[in-house]
Amino acid sequence: MYQIAEKKFWEGRVDKNDGLMGLRWHQILNQLDLTSPIHKNGATQKVAFLGFCSDEGVRRNKGRLGAQQGPDALRKAMASLPVHFDMERIALYDAGNVLCPNQQLERSQQLLGQKVAQLLSLGFMPVVLGGGHEVAYGHYLGLHQHLHQEQKTSLGIINIDAHFDLRSYEVETSSGTPFRQIADLRKHHSLPFHYLCLGIQYTGNTRALFDAAYRTGSQFVAAEHMRESQQDDLMLRIRNWLHDKEFVYLSIDLDALSANYAPGVSAPGAFGLDPWVVKSIVQEVARSGKLLSVDIAELSPAHDQDQRTAKLAAQLVFFVLESLNDILL
């Protein structure tokens, strides 16, 4: 089920005395109805926020529920962010939500894929707001359709996550299976699976999941090797990995971050990543010029404290746009 964008989530401070220099995101946001003809402005980069209101995958994965409310909480957190980009180069749109009624996850993922492919075909960069990490498979279905139509095959997937999300889905799919599903779908179409997972916790993944990573040819960096003191080596590794990829899909699972900074997630982690490290990764990927789309998963407002997790997620989106602006200058 698709729901058009609602303006009520985009409200915030207005600094009238500062004119154009004081603008915030809620003041420049465009509403986008994906069921009607699309009229775009002339900005070089058009960014569309698309919500995926689902925690059905989290329920199936036996996690704590609440991520279904994540997209609208993230919109509220982004609303008052200041405009630090050139509005002639970057324009913001809210493309509404894909809902997941009656536990119909697979149907909702298919619909999400259709909407992502539609946005890409119209020249938008999708920023998909989760929702549980089951968002990744629906998001990928849209990328798969678009790249097939464009006859492109080279796609790299970077997942900032404490977990591989490569679980078996022989019984059912969940928030723990999306990248296994993606790997199998790409194999079915004789496409390479280039998957780099950053922030892996040994305490959060069984030996079976490490085995699945090895068997699918996945690469990973453990959280313990991603401290600020190791950042230069990490950035070099990411740049080398990006070198031969034509396009990149970036997925950010907020449970990769320490619970000190991101308590409002489905599976909080005590030894998670520092936000400054995640910021650097996001900037490195966005500035590569290869970023095709982004999603942010597992924001669970019911478990958040002082909106810390929502604000952190909003600022990560801010850094994506800031970095895109840098390469458009």
Cα 271 from Cα 158, distance rounded (Å) = 20
Cα 156 from Cα 179, distance rounded (Å) = 12
Per-residue confidence (pLDDT) for residue 56, from 0 to 100? 97
Look at residues 319, 293, 303 and name the one whose alpha carbon lies nearest to residue 138. 293
Q: For 268-282, write each residue's pLDDT tens digit.
A: 999 999 999 999 999
Per-residue confidence (pLDDT) for residue 221, from 0 to 100? 98
Look at residues 144, 139, 140 and name the one whose alpha carbon lies nearest to residue 129. 139
Per-residue confidence (pLDDT) for residue 40, from 0 to 100? 65
CA distances from 57 to 36, 76, 108, 216 (A): 30, 24, 11, 22
Q: Could you tell me if 200 and 162 are in contact, meaning their C-beta atoms sit under 8 angstroms apart?
A: yes
Per-residue confidence (pLDDT) for residue 199, from 0 to 100? 98
Cα 266 from Cα 256, distance rounded (Å) = 11
Per-residue confidence (pLDDT) for residue 328, from 0 to 100? 87
Please enumerate in sequence order all residues whose Cβ is within 8 A of that of 204, keeping only pairs 6 or more positions apart, or say none: 162, 163, 267, 269
pTM for this predicted structure:
0.97
Buried-exposed string 224-255: b where 16+ CB fall within 10 A, e elsewhere? eebeeeebeebeebbeebbeebebbbbbbbbb
Per-residue confidence (pLDDT) for residue 37, from 0 to 100? 86
What are the two backbone dihedrals, phi and then psi, of residue 151, each rounded to the nearest 5 degrees?
60, 45
For domain 2-328, the question of CATH label 3.40.800.10 is answered with yes
Give the N- to C-terminal CA distance of the chain in Å, as an integer.
39
Per-residue confidence (pLDDT) for residue 226, from 0 to 100? 97
Q: Could you tell me if 44 and 328 are in contact, meaning their C-beta atoms sit under 8 angstroms apart?
A: yes
| Kind of pairing between the strands at 90-99 and 2-3 | antiparallel
Per-residue confidence (pLDDT) for residue 38, from 0 to 100? 81
Per-residue confidence (pLDDT) for residue 170, from 0 to 100? 96
Per-residue confidence (pLDDT) for residue 101, from 0 to 100? 95
Within the chain, which residues score under 70 in pLDDT?
Answer: 40-41
